[in-house]
Amino acid sequence: MKQTAKLSLFKAPADPERLGRSVWERYLHRGDKRLTPDSAVCELHFEQSFIVRDYVHIINGTELRIPRGTPTLTPDAVPTILPNVAPHLSKRLPPERNVRKRSEEDAVPRKRRRLSTTDEPAVRNRSPSSVSDVLNEPTANDDALATIAALRDVKLPNRYTAEAVQPNSPSVGVIKKMLEFLNKREDHTDKKQFLNQSTAEGLRITLTSTLELLDNLHKKVGHTYLITSQLSQDKSENFFGIVRMSSGCNTHPTPQQFLLAVNCLSFYNLARSVTGGNSTADTISSLLSIEDSELTGKKKLMDTVNSHLNKQAPANESTSGNSAEHSYNVRRSDSRLICHIAGYVAKRCVLPSSCPACTDCLLLSAQDGRRMPAAEFIKHIDLGGLHYPSLELLKFISRLEDVFTNCFSGRKLHSESVMDVLHMIHHASPLQVGCEIHTKSLTARIVGFYVTMRLHFFVKGENKSNLLRKRNSAKHLKLSRLN
């Protein structure tokens, strides 16, 4: 078997002057492929004089040839041997493709060109009077784009208070202008246009519901702004989807079943209390109200405190809340903690009144307050921002604390515990603080704030104790089962 020698491949020159329209392209003229710097040509197409196979060295006048590992071409090498050239290889190269230059029309957005092209046939088919009326209104393309851009600047939907929609604001005027534009444009729209009937109807529902909801909340509830991040007809579609799923995933309800499900949802409370929990149905139902429950609860509490303080205690019950039947079972609070709480009450109730007389009689300077024996705890943790109560305010807060401890030393905590505390305060010996002008209002404010704050921390402590008790009982139960 005859063994053939290994043939070498040579790359085309990388020099564009030799490559582009040079001798190589004239000899290697192919109609289906251009000659690139990555193209390779076999050594059979070159004469042997163009191929260098050895390293030539002259030593002492003697020529020494060393075979090269890879043959190379001389700088003037040209592939001239092309036997039996196929006819399609002799075709002329196709002309270079002319790249179209970008015109000014290409800079216009595609949607805008679509609106302009679709509006032209509709304008041609209208009468001259209707065309002039339409062009004078904001249905022209430029005015339409300006209206949509203004609606975008309103930032619908918005998610921040600074971007919220307010009554009589410029954003409301933009929404009304967009609604007017939609109402006038629907008479001259085409189904093939970008703003078709369904899209315009959905946008109209969203904008109209936004204005109606803003007006309703402003007039009936008293809200000053509206955040529109969740305003969409998708919520209504979601509601109808929930009602439809009441009959099953593959069955559509009849009109009678649909109305029955909607009526059931209208009077059935969706907010349910957890089984075995300590929250009543009334507490859960308050979550469905759109009113400010915090302000409403504070107002009711202040009204209750004022009504109790305005009543005069009976003579035979004036000291009924002073002490329990067995005083040795009553838990007492430390006077140093009471002094610290009195300083916090002064910060929240006395300072906001801005009355110099009330401030002078209920607060002490830091230098005078540090001399009080009960101010040891405040002096220990004070870094310059705590307040020192006067002796009058300290006695008043101590009296309230004694009434509170007397109340819960003999009574259990329940939903009406605040009324029990107020009842005992009402029948306790009368004690008021503040100047002559603000005595009544300041006393009621301090009593309401102190009772609310004290109950909050008392309930928090009771819940923590119950949780620890349950954990310990579960731990003991587990150990008993192991034994």
Q: Where are the domains of the chain?
A: 9-90, 110-231, 294-478
* Residue bearing the bigger pLDDT, 376 or 257: 376
Q: Which has more pLDDT, 153 or 244?
A: 244
Write down the pTM of the prediction. 0.40
Average pLDDT over residues 13-27: 62
Whole-angstrom distance, CA of residue 336 vs CA of residue 192 = 81
pLDDT at residue 411, rounded to an integer: 80
Residue written as tokens 């246009």? 193
Token digits for 390? 């006067």
Interatomic CA distance for residues 407 and 322, integer angstroms = 10
Mean pLDDT across the stretch 235-260? 72
The residues pairing with 64 across neighbouring beta strands, listed in sequence order, are 57
pLDDT reading at 383 higher than 70: yes
Burial (CB count within 10 angstroms: exposed 0-12, middle 13-18, buried 19+), residue 122: middle
Within 13 Å and on the Cβ side, how many CA atoms surround 183? Answer: 9
What is the rounded CA–CA span in Å between residue 405 and residue 330? 7
Stated length of the chain: 483
pLDDT tens by residue, 195-225: 667 677 777 877 887 888 888 888 888 888 7
Q: Is the pLDDT of residue 119 over 80?
A: no
297: which 2 tokens?
A: 């609860």
Amino acid 155: pLDDT: 59
Decide if 157 contacts 234 (C-beta within 8 A): no
pLDDT digits (tens, 9 = 90+) for 428-449: 766 788 888 888 888 888 888 8
Helix (H) or strand (E) holding 244, with range, is: helix 233-244
Alpha helix stretches (DSSP H) within 291-438: 293-310, 335-345, 356-362, 366-369, 376-381, 391-410, 417-427
Distance, in Å, from the CA atom of 19 to the CA atom of 39, rounded to the nearest integer, reads: 11
Q: Check whether 135 has a pLDDT greater than 50.
A: no
Average pLDDT over residues 448-477: 87
- The H-or-E segment that residue 151 falls in is helix 141-153
What number of other Cβ atoms are within 10 A of residue 257's Cβ? 15
Lowest mean pLDDT among 123-132, 230-239, 382-391: 123-132
Per-residue model confidence (pLDDT) at position 430: 66
pLDDT in tens, 43-63: 887 888 888 888 888 888 788
What single-letter DSSP state applies at residue 165? Answer: B
| 156-179 tens-digit pLDDT | 656 666 677 788 888 888 888 888
Residue 294 per-residue DSSP state = H
Classify residue 470 as exposed, middle or buried by CB count within 10 Å of its CB (0-12, 13-18, 19+). Answer: exposed
- Which is higher by pLDDT, 95 or 147? 147
Is the separation of the CB atoms in 295 and 286 below 8 Å?
Answer: no
| More confident position, 338 or 228 | 338
CA distance 371 to 366: 9
pLDDT of residue 95: 59
Q: Is 421 exposed, middle or buried (0-12, 13-18, 19+ CB in 10 A)?
A: buried
Give residue 477's pLDDT. 82
The CB density around residue 219, as the number of other CB atoms within 10 Å, is 10
The residue among 478 and 270 whose pLDDT is bigger is 478
The residue behind tokens 């949802």 is 265
Looking at residue 105, its pLDDT comes to: 62
Q: Which pLDDT score, from 0 to 100, does residue 107 have?
A: 57
Strand pairing category for 40-42 and 9-11: antiparallel
Average pLDDT, the chain: 72
Q: How confident is the model at residue 289 (pLDDT cuts 50, 70, 90)?
A: low
pLDDT confidence of residue 80? 73
Helix (H) or strand (E) holding 42: strand 40-42
Between residues 444 and 319, which one has the greater pLDDT?
444
* pLDDT, average across residues 308-336: 57
pLDDT given for residue 133 in this prediction: 47
Cβ density class 137-161: b for 16+ within 10 Å, e for less: ebbeeeebeebeebbeebbbebeee
Dmax over CA atoms of the chain, in Å, equals 144
pLDDT tier for residue 7 given thresholds of 50, 70 and 90: confident
Q: Which of 123, 211, 117 is nearest to 168 (CA)?
A: 211
Tokens 């609860």 -> residue: 297
pLDDT at 315: 42
